Chains A and B, each alone.
Chain A
Amino acid sequence: MSSKIVVGLDGSGSGDRAVEYAKTLARQIGSCELILVYIIEWSPFSFQTAEENAERHKRREEEIEAALNRIVNPTIEALKSDGLEVTGIVKHGDVADLLDRTAVETSASQIVVARASDAGFAKRLFGTSTANLVMHASVPVTVVG
């Protein structure tokens, strides 16, 4: 049985390093599938205007398409051309929660993520997605700097 690694993508430089690291790991393991996950931060408890609500479905489709075309699919292509087994997912929701859930659902053995790419007051107060993931993850997590 091949092992699986969930890789968090964020479209940033450190996200790319996470992919690089996961690639190295996968090669070392041999038979290993990479599951690329791109999360669009979204909460069902945010506040929107009626007009935003009416256009929400359209926007959601656009967001998913943009994430697939710009980030997920190019990375999949690149990894496939390197001979790796890769799949990709785009989801809306909480980053830490969804990375962990994907790992559990796909029975992945570990998660590779980038360190938080942005700092700020809010992040200090509530913690970054990476920090939240590390604290609550169900499988081992590697944070790539």
Chain B
Amino acid sequence: MNKIFFMALTGLFASTFSASAQEAGGIDQAVNEMFAAVTGPFVSLIFAPFPGTSFPWIVMWLVVAASLFTVYFGFIQFRAFRHSIQLVKGDYSDPNDAGEVSHFQALATALSGTVGLGNIAGVAVAVGIGGPGATFWMILAGLLGMASKFTECTLGVKYRNEYPDGTVSGGPMYYISKGFAEKGVPGGKFLAVLFSIFCILGALGGGNMFQANQAHAQIAGIVGDYPGWITGLIFAAVVFAVIVGGIKSIAKVTEKVVPFMGVLYVLAALVIILMNFNQIGWAFGQIFAGAFTGLGVAGGMVGALIQGFKRAAFSNEAGVGSAAIAHSAVRTKEPITEGFVSLLEPFIDTVVICTMTALVITISGQLMVDPATGNYILDGDTIQTVGGTSGVALTSAAFATAFNWFPYVLAIAVVLFAFSTMISWSYYGLKAWTYLFGEGKTKELVFKIIFCIFVVIGAAASLGPVIDFSDAAIFAMAVVNITALYFLMPVVKRELASYMSRLQSGEIKRFKH
């Protein structure tokens, strides 16, 4: 194992050097191109569209899996919704377990890893290209994704490792290797290692470089352009203080401010929606009409569907396996309870927060409509907006129509969301790292330092090929994870049947009424 450890280390440093060399002024353009050439086929494979469409197969892979889990578990996301909320409220928590990680805490931790740019920028991209109709498909994908989260998070708790010192490690790599071994299916170890590799790459890319990059873009948008490495160094120093220095206070502040920002965002959206309450009916009309006719968007109904499905999947990460790592820390006698709690995650992330963004953009009138036909005016593939904005800027402009100070709040929110996503992914990456190389202070430190270096690189450079590759790695996690979920879903079904019968017979007690 040590040999692999050092080989991987050399590889990572090599890629770090190649990246900073390129940053130094394009000297090493050749290396960059080589990197793109080597990783290109992998990226193209993951994001390859179905022939003749622009629908990436990976999005279909996630949606089909979510639909299958929904049917297989008998629409669990609707049946167990009320019970999930009771669990989060602590109605079924034994008072003697007070002081352990609560269901609420696990949910909040996992949410802070997923709520972020996807909810603000991603939705604007979806609505900007697919029109309001994309919202309908986004909500549908969010509702289906709840079943994927339920499956992976139940397995995450069931097959986690508990160490003698009382700490825990869990996630897809553990349920893949242990679950496959238990069922006598070969290849578990191989898939687990593959998952861990993708998870490390995804953590450094989508969970780190992409976030640092976007945070810098936001700050630069407000204070004016300046070199990205400055943002990178500041971010890296703060991340270093939290994950290496163990400065809990910074993490504590973020973990408190991020939910506050999330609530503020939803409240602001609600206020805007209520201020225009006479348009709510119209907005939903646009969403439904657009979902099936496209209202003139590029690609029509299919165009709206692609955008909605894609952004929902990118935002809530259902099926990717990351949430299973975050949820496995809960100390519960019933792994399935954590599955119930986790199904609220795509609901909050996609069905509530993403829909709010989409409604505000629709109501704000930023999308330009041709008065003659009632269809949207297209500018190439995207819908023309009032200020020619897209992404975060479109969301920002939509909120600014009601509150002109909101873009500043939004910028702070984006930076904080990016930071909390980084902290979450540093943990996901670390767990995959220790799965491959074993636990140990030095080994963990090596990963944490690499992680901080990548913060600087991500903020400083527009490393297109590297970021493409890391994004692809996050979705490659879903290829491995969902394959494993298909093999292991009967385990979850058994847990579900047993729990439900005991819940009905009253064997599982409710402590609060």
Contact = CB atoms under 8 A, between A and B. Distances in A.
B379 interface: no
B255 A51 contact: no
B102 A44 contact: yes
B99 A40 contact: yes
B100 A47 contact: no
B12 interface: no
Interface stretch (B131-139, B166-174, B493-501): B166-174
A45 B255 contact: no
B141 interface: no
Interface in A76-105: 91-93
A58 interface: yes
A2 interface: no
A92 B99 contact: yes
Interface residues of A, number: 24
A46 B103 CA distance: 11
Interface centre among A46, A48, A60, A93 (most CB of B within 10 A): A48
A45 B103 CA distance: 9
A77 B258 CA distance: 46
Contacts of B105: 44-48, 53
A50 B100 CA distance: 13
B90 A44 contact: yes
Interface centre among A54, A55, A58 (most CB of B within 10 A): A54
A136 interface: no
A49 B98 contact: no
A50 B430 CA distance: 11
B108 interface: yes
B106 interface: yes
B99 A55 contact: no
B329 A56 contact: yes
Interface string B97-113: 01111111110110011
B300 to A, nearest CB: 42
A63 interface: yes
A47 B108 contact: yes
Given A92-B99, A93-B98, A53 B329 contact: yes
Contacts of A40: 99
Contacts of B258: 47
A44 B89 CA distance: 9
A57 B168 contact: yes
Contact of A49 (B93, B100, B255): B255
Contacts of B248: 52
A61 B100 CA distance: 9
A12 to B, nearest CB: 21
Interface residues of B, number: 39
Contacts of A46: 105
Contacts of A45: 102, 104-105
B259 interface: yes
B166 A48 contact: no
Secondary structure dominating the interface of B: helix
Given A48-B105, A50-B325, A53-B105, A42 B167 contact: no
Nearest to A43: B102
Given A44-B90, A58-B165, A50 B99 contact: no
Interface string B247-281: 01001100110110000000000000000000000
Interface in A87-126: 91-93
B100 A56 contact: yes
A54 B106 CA distance: 10
A73 B384 CA distance: 72
B101 A48 contact: yes
Given A44-B102, A57-B168, A50 B255 contact: no
Contacts of A55: 166-167
B422 to A, nearest CB: 11
Interface in B82-128: 90, 93, 95, 98-106, 108-109, 112-113
B326 interface: yes
A63 B325 CA distance: 25
A138 B190 CA distance: 60
Interface in A53-73: 53-58, 60-61, 63-64
A54 to B, nearest CB: 5
Contact of A53 (B93, B98, B106, B428): B106
A49 B251 contact: yes
Given A53-B329, A92-B99, A48 B168 contact: no
A48 B98 contact: no
14 contacts: A40-B99, A46-B105, A47-B256, A48-B105, A48-B108, A50-B325, A50-B427, A54-B329, A54-B427, A55-B166, A57-B100, A60-B99, A92-B99, A93-B95
Interface of B: 90, 93, 95, 98-106, 108-109, 112-113, 165-169, 242-243, 248, 251-252, 255-256, 258-259, 325-326, 329-331, 423-424, 427-428
Given A57-B101, A58-B165, 16 more contacts: A42-B99, A44-B93, A45-B105, A47-B108, A47-B252, A48-B101, A49-B251, A49-B424, A50-B109, A50-B326, A54-B168, A54-B169, A54-B329, A56-B329, A60-B99, A93-B99
